[in-house]
Amino acid sequence: MKRIVILGSTGSVGQNTLTVIKELQDRFCVVGLSTYNNVNLLLKQTRLFRPKKIVICNESKFTQRKFLNTQVYSGQDNLKKLVTDVEVDLVVVAISGSAALVPLLEAIDSKKTIALANKEALVMAGNIIMNMAKKKNVTIIPIDSEQSAIWQCLEGNNKKEISKIYLTASGGPLNKVPLGKFSNLSKNKILNHPRWKMGKKISVDSATLMNKGLEIIETKWLFNVNLDCIKVLVHPEAIIHSMVEFRDGSVMAQLSNTDMRFPIQHALTYPQRQRSNFKKLDFFKIKSLHFEKPNFKKFPCLNLAYQAARDGGSMPAVLNASNEKAVDAFLNDRLSFINIPKVIEKILSKHKIIQRPNLDEILEVDKWARTKTQEYINQLN
């Protein structure tokens, strides 16, 4: 049995991961779970899966409740107790945002196989993460549907023969909404993704297309490819989850219904494939598939991500930190939706790039960008 830790077990990806594990319970053993502050759900998961350890990262939400054979810890630093445990085979990193960076590096340093559902860590410190993974001989298996699709398309193929990677995007909830109406959109409209059920932060990122921008940088590091070969392709049906074109003109694509359990199960069971009860594609009901170029004018965050990726060094870390603060401000009614890219662009313009930042420098840049973003948002208000 594979012994698994799930960081962020109460989020969308974490819950879906536990659903997959429950269906294949003879193959997996959950030994650790964590949440930021959804304590009630974590406790329900603990009763059901009986992990050896759980961590509540938000110390103010810490509970003294005791469970048979389960140790309860509080504070972000205690995630290390989960990911470095000698009994752990695989760590599912389903924490959103920059909070995943340090525990991800600790898991790699402990030579655990990684199932990665977090893109922000690679955006911030892709060079450090991938170099450490190579040094420790650690496999990082992506869970995001697009990255999983690329991973699957490349199985058995030579990465040196890649011509293009087509990173597909549904276009999000605003794909057909005119730019002129953006300033009058309700929060519910922005959060209502047409294809996926996701958390609020990633839903906003999908509406601005920043999510796709972050995936561009993630793709660059995960697959060690040149930025120029990564193309974003809007595909509203979200059936093709990404494609790889090889130098002979052949294109490999991965298709499935929009269900996160597909890439999650592949990551957990890799290199094998197990049967599933998920709803399969019915090609006789698919009338057509559509593709279009992204509208960079309408979604400037995509341009900002490309530029940060080209600048390299510490700039992607600034992009990510500023975006996190701006999205948080929007969700808490302190910033308008149309001002999200304006705020990020302003902070990027203020940053002096560090070309080869170490981890301490990245964490310092992250703090700087958050502080400057908050200051600028305060000025706008």
Q: Report the pLDDT value the prediction gives residue 67, as an integer from 0 to 100.
A: 67
Kindly give the confidence (pLDDT) of every residue in the chain, 381 residues in length, as a single tens digit, with 9 standing for 90 and above: 999 999 999 999 999 999 999 999 999 999 999 999 899 999 999 999 999 999 999 988 877 666 668 899 999 999 999 999 999 999 999 998 899 999 999 999 999 999 999 999 999 999 999 999 999 999 999 999 999 999 999 999 999 999 999 999 998 889 999 999 998 888 888 998 777 677 788 899 999 999 999 999 999 999 999 999 999 999 999 999 999 999 999 999 999 999 999 999 999 999 999 999 999 999 999 989 999 999 999 999 999 999 999 999 999 999 999 999 999 999 999 999 999 999 999 999 999 999 999 999 999 999 999 999 999 999 998
What pLDDT sits at residue 122?
Answer: 97
Q: Hey, which residues does 116 pair with through a beta bridge?
A: 93, 142
List the beta bridge partners of residue 242: 254
Residue with tokens 């999000």: 172
HEC assignment per residue over the chain: CEEEEEECCCCHHHHHHHHHHHHCCCCEEEEEEEECCCHHHHHHHHHHHCCCEEEECCHHHCCCCCECCEEEEECHHHHHHHHCCCCCCEEEECCCHHHHHHHHHHHHHCCCEEEECCCHHHHHHHHHHHHHHHHHCCCEEECCHHHHHHHHHHCCCCHHHEEEEEEEECCCCCCCCCHHHHHHCCHHHHHCCCCCCCCHHHHHHHHHCHHHHHHHHHHHHHHCCCHHHEEEEECCCCCEEEEEEECCCCEEEEECCCCCHHHHHHHHHCCCCCCCCCCCCCCCCCCCCCCECCCCCCCHHHHHHHHHHHHCCCHHHHHHHHHHHHHHHHHCCCCCHHHHHHHHHHHHHHCCCCCCCCHHHHHHHHHHHHHHHHHHHHHHC
pTM: 0.93
What interhelical angle do 315-331 and 210-223 show, nearest 10?
150
Of residues 116, 108, 104, the one with CA closest to residue 136? 108
Query: How many CB atoms lie under 10 A from the CB of residue 87?
Result: 11
Taken in order of first residue, the domains within the chain and their CATH numbers are 2-142 (3.40.50.720)
* Residue corresponding to tokens 């990564």: 230
46/28 Cα distance (integer angstroms) = 15
Residue 304 CB: number of other CB atoms within 10 A?
A: 23
What gap in Å lies between CA 76 and CA 64, rounded to an integer? 17
**pLDDT of amino acid 61:** 81
Report how far residue 373's alpha carbon sits from residue 379's, in angstroms, rounded to the nearest whole number.
10
Using CA atoms, how far residue 359 sits from 91, 108, 127, in Å, is 21, 14, 10
Q: Supply angle C-alpha 42, 43, 49, rounded to 5.
A: 85
